[in-house]
Every structure is written in structure tokens, then in C-alpha cells.
Amino acid sequence: MTKYVSEREINNRFGFHPATNQTRPLHEESREAFTDLAHWVNETLPEGREKSLCLTAIQEAAMWSNAAIACNLAPLEEKNEE
């Protein structure tokens, strides 16, 4: 049976990715952008299920943003080892 995802990819997806000098500014920029959006939603939209779901979706998108940065912007030295 052929594996759809390589062992390396699984380890990358579930491994720990500490912030680096390259990724730290992007994490901070992402966090600021999503926080600003969440504040806008909280201050602007009427209370209700939709607002709650919107905030949850923003939180989920923020987590995926951080994962994209952490998993795909490894230091150049690591990428050269592939």
C-alpha cells in the first residue's frame, strides 16, 4: 500500500517548531493582524451565534497561520539537508 504522506511530512506536521529569527516577526505580524480583526468583530457585530462562530473561525485561522509559518519556513540550513 502506498503512503499518501511521507514520514518526514508527518514528523514536520506534528513536530515542535520553535520560533527562529526568521519566523518570529511573521508570527508577531500574524498575531497582530488576527487580534485586530477579532477586536473589530467583537466591537462591531451584534451578539449572537454568528459572532461567536466568527471569533472561533478567526482563532482557528490564526492557529493555521502560525502552523504555516512554523512548518514551512524552516531555516535554510535545514532545507538544504533534504
Task: Report how many domains make up the chain.
Answer: 1
| 21 belongs to a structural domain | no
| 18 belongs to a structural domain | no
Each residue of 24-37: pLDDT tens digit? 999 999 999 999 99
**Domain range for residue 71?**
33-82
| 74 belongs to a structural domain | yes
Start-to-end CA distance of the chain, whole Å, equals 24
List the helix and strand counts (H, then E) for the chain: 4, 0
Residue 1 pLDDT class (50, 70, 90 cuts)? confident
Which phi-psi region, left, alpha or beta, contains residue 18 (left: φ > 0; alpha: ψ -120 to 50)?
beta
| 60 belongs to a structural domain | yes
Residue 82 has pLDDT above 80, yes or no: no
| 38 belongs to a structural domain | yes
| 43 belongs to a structural domain | yes
Sign of the four-CA dihedral 17, 19, 25, 30: positive
Each residue of 20-69: pLDDT tens digit? 999 999 999 999 999 999 999 999 999 999 999 999 999 999 999 999 99
